[in-house]
Amino acid sequence: MTNILYSGHKTGWSILWRPEAGICDLLIGKRWECYRVSGVRNLQTGKGRKITMTKITMYTDGAARGNPDGPGGYGTILSFVDSKGQEHIKELSAGYQRTTNNRMEMMAVIAGMEVLNRPCEIVVYSDSQYVVKAFNEHWLDGWIKKGWKRGKNEPVKNVDLWKRLLAAMEKHQVSFRWVKGHNGHPQNERCDELATTAADGTDLLVDEGIS
């Protein structure tokens, strides 16, 4: 059986799946580590080839100063636990010159999805009702069915990011869970710190979706 390398041009984890040996080689930074495939989910592709779907826990938060006319930022934490029970953490953040809180909440999830270079089983923890309910209460299904309209034929906001998020999710299996913000949740508090620090930083990016 042929070894299968999952890698991409974006910064992230690279995984070499060796089917005959039942071993997954995981590249974290510049270091390769070898793990047995227990703890990862085996899937069958259309061509009959088995691949693995690594379990990732993602925590996200967004922030905006003077919402909706001020700078903003997002913070994301990706957590992977290997077969030895060791947790590996990756943090992401970026700041924007002018944006909204909802857009930063969405960008936090998008950034986490896009940095993963192979299909993963992801649980997203967010304190954004806007993001979580869009999926769990099927708001998105209704918006898409109505041609990105809501309520009394009003246009849906942030369509550019909703489309980008859906595209980023395509190769993954994703579930969303809501957590109460500013309530002592360690990862949520850390994401808030990342987001606010990015919003208050220099070299802020331009949110092209804000007119």
Catalytic residue among 72, 95, 114, 127: 127
105 assigned to active site: yes
127 assigned to active site: yes
Catalytic residue among 105, 112, 114, 207: 105
**Residue whose entry in the numeric block shows the structure tokens 């259309």:** 46
Within 8 A by CB and 6+ apart from 204, the residues are: 71, 95, 96, 97
61 assigned to active site: yes
Catalytic residue among 8, 182, 200, 201: 182
Catalytic residue among 12, 62, 72, 95: 62
Catalytic residue among 61, 82, 114, 207: 61
203 assigned to active site: no
Contact 36, 23 (CB under 8 A): yes
62 assigned to active site: yes
Q: How far apart are CA 1 and CA 117, in angstroms?
A: 22
| Burial per residue of 68-96, b for 16 or more beta-carbon CB atoms within 10 angstroms, e otherwise | eebbbbbbbbbbbebeeeeeeebebbbbb
192 assigned to active site: yes
Active site members: 61-62, 105, 127, 182, 192
